[in-house]
Structure 1
Amino acid sequence: MTNEPPYLAIAAELRRRIRSGELSPGDRVPSTRAVTREWGVAMATATKALGVLRQESLVRPEPGVGTVVLARTGRGTGSDTGSGAGSGAGPEPEPLSRERLVAAALELADAEGLNGLTMRRVATALGVSTMTLYRHVPGKAELVRLMADAACGEVPLGPVPPEWRVGLERGARWLRGVYSRHRWMAHAMASFTRPVATRNAMAYTEWVLRSLRGTPLTHTEKLHAHLLIFAYVQGLSMADDLEEQARQDTGISDGEWMEQNEPRFDAIQAGGSYPELNSVTSGGGFGLDLDALFEFGLQRTLDGIASMIDETSG
């Protein structure tokens, strides 16, 4: 029987997988979210476990990839209890860079959201002191800005299509992809009057405006069209994030939640006060899918912009 803290036991198992070859250099190790699922522990425990491996220079965060296994550069990796001069000696820890810092923060925010992101938690994940982080960023706000820039720079938009509608469709789906990979982004980019200043976010705005370059819309109308689509994607992405938080908080799927709450909905509708709602939901034929809702709303939004372009052309 051992009183070893859970995070050390998890680190020991992941260390074993690395040293046995189950996880090879360059392979992704389980993310904090995957660790919480496999071992049934809290996010903080999972973060500490991965932090131990980083401190031992067995793994490191890679921007846009996750935490990966490092190539072995020392000897005596087959035993934790060896003796002699080489025992306990490992490779020199890699100096902390801004890129590693941002990658670790991205992984933590992807797993726990912005509320779970603190400088102390990031430092633990990297195996360094909290004060070390402040040599690279002045605080959390700047770190989040760098994270947002990195997230927007992961997947290139490509050339601007010659047809404005195709361009706006592609831009909207690209933005939804960013928010799907990093659900916290919908909150980080929430302000319209105080936008986050990043090169890659501004490149997206430039790309969308170029899509509208050949239309007769005024400068203000083009910018409003861009912001309208941005707000639409952001709104649904926030709903996505809330849905995911609810799944994590309750531990049940959407279907299980609906099954538990269906009697309550049935009781409210049984009085006959909602005939239109009953007509579209009766028979179990309607199931809300946010991806389908996104496509429906995107096309209706673009229809409105098309109507405005047609009116302006006339």
Structure 2
Amino acid sequence: MAERTDPPYLRIAADLRRRIAAGELAPGDRVPSTRRLAADWGVALATATKALTALRLEGTVEARPRVGTVVAPRPGPARPPGAGAAAAPPAGPRAAGPAAGGAGPAPDDLSRDRIVRAAIAIADAEGLAALTMRGVAARLGVAAMSPYRYVGGREELVLLMADAAFGELSCPEPPAGGWRERLETSARIRWALYRRHPWLAQLGPLTRPQLIPNLLAHGEWTLAALDGRGLAPGRMLDISVLLHGHIEGLAVHLEREAQARAATGLDDEEWMETQLTGVEAVTLSGRFPVFGRLVRELGPDGYDLDFDHLFETGLRAFLDGLARLVEG
């Protein structure tokens, strides 16, 4: 009888806990979406969202960008007292000594490259804001201060991550095609990298460019495509910045969407469903006639906000306009 008096969101959360405990949903498995829960239980999306939020707060599930809400990993078995010291591996070449700041011995295989790759994995899954030196150490299974033997701190680590990420794809050498083909190649390669690592768009504003070698290599390739066309130095840099701004300006929303999904438990389509009443009111108000007409003409399928399509559309328009400067 008591269960019947519980709020609906608690009953949904309890049922998901039962399924997880029974092994129906294993760690890493995606849990039903808010839309599915709302339909199965006959509740509003907000109620289903509240249930998943409760489970996230207690650590039963976790939101993973570009994946959804999944069952959280089970904590490992507790280590008996003294086990950490007994099992500690020998110190690496940079371990030991008072200058280490109490970091303790580091595993033999710990390296800057391993630290950077672990940090990239965290940023890819949880966003750049979730990255901490302590979190990297936990992911690697080492003492909290061990990464500081190889990296000065989070700021330096982020720059190393960005350099590694931008180095995953490079422009072809020798370059082929004319200036337009080369700029298209450069732009699509960078877009692919931002797609792979959306946190790259959070590095900093255009007014404070980071001297990241592999990012500079992409910029150099762009400038070389324009070189020898009679353009003034400032104009060449303008074009390079505008092209980068188009790519990064779209990519920044990939990370923002991931953050919004993690915070709300709703993907973009599910969130839009919660806005339908407001959209309908705006459409029927008559205050925005063009918008209202477009919504009606789109019909029930609505508007599909496709970032890849927007990237290609914007790139084509940018290059069409640029042709007047380069070839005019």
TM over 0.5: yes
> Any gaps of 5 or more consecutive residues in structure 1?
1-5, 15-31, 57-91
Counterpart for residue 77 of structure 1: none
How far is the alpha carbon of 1:39 from its aligned partner?
Answer: 5.3
Q: Partner letter of residue 190 of structure 2? A: L
Q: Partner letter of residue 178 of structure 2? A: E
Superposed CA offset, 1:74-118 (max 9, x none)? xxxxxxxxxxxxxxxxxx954211000100010011111111100
How far is the alpha carbon of 1:13 from its aligned partner?
Answer: 8.2
Q: Partner letter of residue 182 of structure 1? A: H
Counterpart for residue 218 of structure 1: 232
* Residue among 318, 322, 327 paired with 1:301: 318
Report matched runs for 1:101-250 at 5 Å.
101-159=115-173, 160-188=175-203, 190-250=204-264
The RMSD of aligned alpha carbons is: 3.0
Superposed CA offset, 1:110-143 (max 9, x none)? 1111111001111111111122111111110000
Superposed CA offset, 1:267-303 (max 9, x none)? 1221111111122222325322121111111111112
Change beyond 3 A, Cα 1:37–1:262 = closer
Aligned to 1:184, what secondary structure does the other structure show?
helix
Counterpart for residue 40 of structure 1: 71
Aligned to 2:145, what secondary structure does the other structure show?
helix
Runs of 4+ in 1 over 4 A off after TM superposition: 36-39
Preserved CA contact (<8 Å) 1:109 1:117? yes
How far is the alpha carbon of 1:263 from its aligned partner?
Answer: 1.4
Q: Partner letter of residue 305 of structure 1? A: L
Inter-partner Cα distance in structure 1 for 2:147 and 2:271: 41
Aligned to 1:270, what secondary structure does the other structure show?
helix
Superposed CA offset, 1:150-191 (max 9, x none)? 000112221323311111111111111111111111001x32
Inter-partner Cα distance in structure 2 for 1:217 and 1:95: 51
Change beyond 3 A, Cα 1:306–1:39 = closer
Counterpart for residue 5 of structure 2: none
Counterpart for residue 59 of structure 1: none
TM-score by length of 2: 0.66
TM-score by length of 1: 0.69
Change beyond 3 A, Cα 1:139–1:255 = same
Report matched runs for 1:60-99 at 5 Å.
94-99=108-113
Q: Partner letter of residue 229 of structure 1? A: L
Inter-partner Cα distance in structure 1 for 2:145 and 2:261: 35
Counterpart for residue 254 of structure 1: 268
Q: Which is bigger in relative contact order (C-alpha 8 A, separation at least 6)?
A: 2
* Residue among 303, 307, 318 paired with 1:286: 303
